[in-house]
Structure 1
Amino acid sequence: METLAVPVKDAARTLGIGRTKLYELIGAGQLQTMQIGRRRLVKTASIRALVAEAA
């Protein structure tokens, strides 16, 4: 089964950026997130789309 969402820390590590920059991308609408309880998760599809956009 494919991972659909990852914690903010893992998303930042995957992209090679800091948490502050990751939250900037979320605020700009370039990354989609979901919240389950108190946890914010970044959708892996939006990470892939961001990387494909940059290529």
Structure 2
Amino acid sequence: METTHLAGDIDPTLVLLKVEEAARRLQVGRTVCYRLINSGELESLMVYGLRRVPADAPAAYLARRRAAKRAA
């Protein structure tokens, strides 16, 4: 049985995500995602003038938020 990807699916093999893809993984809007990037809470880098988010950065951000909540 062949599976097809929906338009909103993100390829799990990607190493770098577009900001919009990272926002979808975090289930937040693009503007919120840029705020997280600008504040340094979400790791990102520039690749030839394009802002990219490492694929593991959204999960790392959530892990830090969860740890901070448990510590509070």
TM range (shorter): 0.7 to 0.9
Q: Check if 1:9 corresponds to 2:20.
A: yes
Tell me which protein shows more strand as a share of its residues: 1
TM-score, normalised to structure 2, is: 0.64
Tell me which protein shows more helix as a share of its residues: 1
Structure 2: gaps spanning 5 or more residues: 1-12, 67-72
Q: Kindly indicate whether structure 1 or structure 2 has the higher relative contact order, using CA contacts under 8 Å at least 6 residues apart.
A: 1
Aligned length: 54
Structure 1: gaps spanning 5 or more residues: none
Percent sequence identity over aligned pairs: 31
Runs of 4+ in 1 over 6 A off after TM superposition: none
